[in-house]
């Protein structure tokens, strides 16, 4: 903006729109290149080229890890799940279909393992709770405890409130929102990961977005 | 953990565990497919093979062609994955499981209704033998299909198991139809459609555990 100090407002607006569109196109282009790299590496790995697994890891792991950390809020667990996801891909390499996209498949495996992991730890917690007669606060309860007005005085706390609101959403809505907004998957890819129709995924993401907007409006008002 | 450490750990774990390449898997799949086709045919030959009975040969050929088309379509829809690694959608799998038994019943009843007395009741044929034969012929194909897709579905393993069971049942029904002359609807429901549904139910039960992607315990 400072580089265009004397530009008439309409020209400036047009330039901003063009820049935004170009940035968007660049982002999509970079993402496509990354996906192509992952697909090519998976194809070579399926054919038996063992060295391609390292390349496949480099192409997939950062995005999967980011997703798993965000969803589990536990870096250790995310790392274990990432390892399991990559090993599942390794075991199933012979099944890889020529021309298929590896990314939605990898995300679907990661999500399934994450759900199983949550179920398992929930059962373990229940067993411990039954054995000790104790009570452990769930993530929503823990997050709610943080929602006091005093705690929302800085950006970090606001981000925590956002996380808490995300945690309150139904899992299918939250995942649709995260896959599309955070991980940059297309609606079609997110639909494949979630085993739903693109229309349903679009609706879930929209509902999650609307719920967050309402919830965060309240938070900002309190702030 | 450092990202480089994690990568080293993952690569080492993968290197220590053998996994078949696509070529090796295609060979294994071809052997499984051949056995899934061959074993029921062998069993069918052992129980006496095709039996025309009072049916005109044209009717036998027509119903056999129709049931074969239904069975092949069911297998294509249930066992095929299409262009995606995530396979068919839940809607397609459930649709297959619902439409195939209905299509079989409608085709058999419609083709039999065109020939006099073909839909008459056969009091001594309740459908138990057809039920047992369908289950017998479908047992190995359904096991082979589950084996082939073992631990591969991260989204809807239950729906996949259901569709695989119904598809294997449809294949068995195509064979039993060559043997059974009865076109009476209650017999068709009890002896032909019911085992297809039972196999689907078993497939769904087994599929939930066997077909889904699972972390090692």
Q: Which of residues 74-93 of A touch B (CB under 8 A)?
A: 75-76, 79, 81-84, 86-88, 90-93
Contacts of A92 in chain B (CB under 8 A): 19, 152
Q: Which of residues 102-161 of A touch B (CB under 8 A)?
A: 102, 104-105, 108-109, 111-113, 116-117
Q: What is the pLDDT of residues A57-81, one digit of tens each?
A: 999 999 999 999 988 888 999 999 9
Q: Which of A49-53, A116-120, A134-138, B176-180 has the lowest mean pLDDT?
A: A134-138
Across the interface, whether the CB atoms of A93 and B21 are under 8 A apart is answered yes
pLDDT at B117: 80
Owner of token pair 């555990």: B209
Q: Containing domain of residue B121, as a range?
A: 29-210
Higher confidence at residue B93 or residue A5?
A: B93
pLDDT at A147: 47
Write down the H helix ranges in chain B: 3-15, 22-46, 57-79, 90-113, 128-148, 157-179, 185-188, 194-210
Of A65, A69, A72, A100, nearest to A86 by C-alpha is A65
Q: Does a structural domain hold residue B5?
A: no
A195 vs B17, B89, B215: nearest CB = B89
CA-based torsion, A177, A183, A184, A189: positive or negative: negative
Please answer whether residues B208 and B189 qualify as being in contact, where contact means their C-beta atoms are separated by less than 8 angstroms. no
Please determine, for residue A131, whether its predicted confidence score (pLDDT) is greater than 60.
no
Nearest CA in chain B to A117: B215
A87 vs B6, B13, B91: nearest CB = B13
- Spell out the SS3 assignment of B79-133: HCCCCCCCCCCHHHHHHHHHHHHHHHHHHHHHHHHCCCCCCCCCCCCCCHHHHHH
pLDDT at B129: 93
Q: Does a structural domain hold residue B161?
A: yes
Q: How many residues does chain A have?
A: 223
Count of domains observed in chain B: 1
A84 vs B86, B151, B215: nearest CB = B215
Q: Indicate the pTM of the whole model.
A: 0.78
Q: Which of residues 150-169 of A touch B (CB under 8 A)?
A: none
Q: Smallest CA–CA separation between B150 and chain A, in Å?
A: 10
Rounded to an integer, the average pLDDT of A24-34 is: 64
Q: What is the ipTM of this complex?
A: 0.87
pLDDT at B116: 82
Nearest CA in chain B to A59: B7
Please answer whether residues A90 and B14 qualify as being in contact, where contact means their C-beta atoms are separated by less than 8 angstroms. yes
Contacts of B86 in chain A (CB under 8 A): 104-105, 108, 192-193, 195
B22 vs A46, A91, A192: nearest CB = A46
Q: Smallest CA–CA separation between B11 and chain A, in Å?
A: 7
Q: Which among B9, B12, B90, B215 is the top mutation candidate for probing chain A, defined by the most A β-carbons within 10 Å of its own β-carbon?
A: B215
CATH number for the domain whose boundaries are A137-223: 1.10.10.10
Nearest CA in chain A to B21: A94
Please determine, for residue A20, whether its predicted confidence score (pLDDT) is greater than 80.
no
Q: What b/e sequence results for B180-213 when a residue is b if at least 16 CB atoms lie within 10 Å of its CB, and e otherwise?
A: bbbbbbebbebbbbbbbbbbbebbbebbbebbbb
Q: Does a structural domain hold residue B116?
A: yes
Q: Does a structural domain hold residue B44?
A: yes
Q: Does a structural domain hold residue B7?
A: no
Banded model confidence at residue A121, pLDDT cuts 50, 70, 90? confident
Contacts of A195 in chain B (CB under 8 A): 86, 89-90, 155-156
pLDDT at B185: 92
Domain ranges of chain A: 1-136, 137-223
Cα separation values, B185 from A16, A24, A124, B78, Å: 71, 61, 51, 26
Please determine, for residue A137, whether its predicted confidence score (pLDDT) is greater than 50.
no
Q: Which of residues 40-79 of A touch B (CB under 8 A)?
A: 46-48, 50, 53-54, 57-58, 61, 65, 75-76, 79
pLDDT at A150: 55
Answer CATH for A1-136 from 3.30.342.10, 1.10.1740.10, 3.20.20.30, 3.50.30.30: 1.10.1740.10
Q: Smallest CA–CA separation between A179 and chain B, in Å?
A: 15
Of B147, B5, B163, nearest to B96 by C-alpha is B163
User: One digit per residue, pLDDT tens: chain B, 217 residues?
Assistant: 667 789 999 999 999 999 999 999 999 999 999 999 999 999 999 998 888 888 889 899 999 999 999 999 999 999 998 888 999 999 999 999 999 999 999 999 999 888 888 778 877 788 899 999 999 999 999 999 999 999 999 999 999 999 999 999 999 999 999 999 888 999 999 999 999 999 999 999 999 889 999 876 6
Q: What is the pLDDT of residues A144-183, one digit of tens each?
A: 444 444 544 556 666 677 777 777 888 778 888 878 877 7
Q: Does a structural domain hold residue B119?
A: yes
pLDDT at A163: 73
Please determine, for residue A8, whether its predicted confidence score (pLDDT) is greater than 70.
no
Q: Which among B7, B18, B86, B163 is the top mutation candidate for probing chain A, defined by the most A β-carbons within 10 Å of its own β-carbon?
A: B86
Rounded to an integer, the average pLDDT of A29-34 is: 70
Q: What is the pLDDT of residues A182-220, one digit of tens each?
A: 777 888 888 888 878 888 888 888 888 888 787 777 666
pLDDT at B203: 96
Q: Does a structural domain hold residue B159?
A: yes
Q: Smallest CA–CA separation between A103 and chain B, in Å?
A: 10
Please determine, for residue A31, whether its predicted confidence score (pLDDT) is greater than 80.
no
User: Taking the CB of residue B29, how many other CB atoms lie within 10 A of it?
Assistant: 16
Please determine, for residue A133, whether its predicted confidence score (pLDDT) is greater than 90.
no
Please determine, for residue A34, whether its predicted confidence score (pLDDT) is greater than 70.
yes
């Amino acid at each position: 903006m400072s580089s265009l100090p004397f530009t008439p407002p309409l020209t400036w607006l047009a330039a901003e729109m063009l820049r935004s569109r170009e940035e968007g196109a660049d982002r999509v282009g970079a993402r496509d290149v990354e996906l192509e790299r992952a697909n090519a590496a998976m194809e070579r790995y399926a054919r038996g080229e063992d060295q391609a697994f390292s390349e496949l890891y480099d192409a997939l792991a950062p995005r999967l890890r980011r997703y798993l950390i965000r969803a589990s809020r536990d870096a250790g667990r995310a790392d274990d799940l990432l390892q399991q996801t990559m090993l599942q891909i390794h075991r199933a390499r012979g099944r890889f279909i020529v021309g298929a996209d590896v990314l939605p498949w990898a995300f679907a495996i990661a999500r399934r393992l994450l759900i199983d992991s949550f179920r398992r730890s929930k059962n373990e917690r229940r067993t411990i709770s039954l054995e000790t007669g104790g009570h452990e606060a769930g993530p929503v309860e823990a997050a709610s405890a943080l929602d006091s007005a005093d705690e929302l005085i800085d950006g970090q706390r606001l981000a925590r409130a956002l996380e808490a609101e995300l945690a309150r959403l139904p899992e299918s809505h939250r995942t649709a929102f995260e896959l599309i907004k955070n991980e940059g998957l297309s609606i079609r890819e997110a639909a494949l990961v979630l085993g739903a129709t693109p229309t349903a995924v679009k609706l879930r993401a929209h509902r999650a977005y609307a719920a967050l907007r309402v919830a965060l409006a309240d938070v900002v008002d309190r702030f | 953990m450092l990202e480089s450490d994690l990568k080293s750990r993952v690569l080492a774990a993968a290197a220590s565990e053998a996994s078949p390449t696509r070529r090796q898997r295609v060979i294994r799949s071809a052997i499984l497919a051949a056995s899934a086709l061959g074993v029921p045919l062998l069993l069918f030959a052992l129980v006496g093979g095709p039996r025309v009975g009072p049916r005109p040969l044209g009717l036998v050929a027509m119903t056999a062609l129709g049931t074969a088309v239904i069975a092949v379509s069911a297998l294509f829809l249930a066992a095929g994955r299409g262009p995606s690694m995530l396979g068919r959608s839940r809607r397609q799998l459930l649709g297959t499981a619902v439409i195939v038994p209905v299509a079989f019943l409608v085709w058999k009843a419609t083709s039999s209704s065109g020939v006099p007395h073909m839909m008459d009741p056969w009091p001594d044929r309740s459908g138990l033998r057809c039920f047992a034969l369908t289950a017998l012929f479908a047992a190995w194909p359904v096991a082979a299909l589950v084996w082939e897709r073992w631990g591969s579905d991260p989204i809807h393993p239950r729906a996949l198991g259901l569709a695989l069971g119904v598809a294997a049942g449809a294949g068995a029904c195509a064979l039993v139809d060559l043997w059974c002359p009865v076109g009476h609807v209650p017999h068709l429901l009890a002896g032909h459609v019911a085992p297809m549904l039972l196999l689907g139910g078993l497939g769904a039960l087994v599929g939930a555990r066997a077909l889904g992607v699972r972390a090692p315990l």
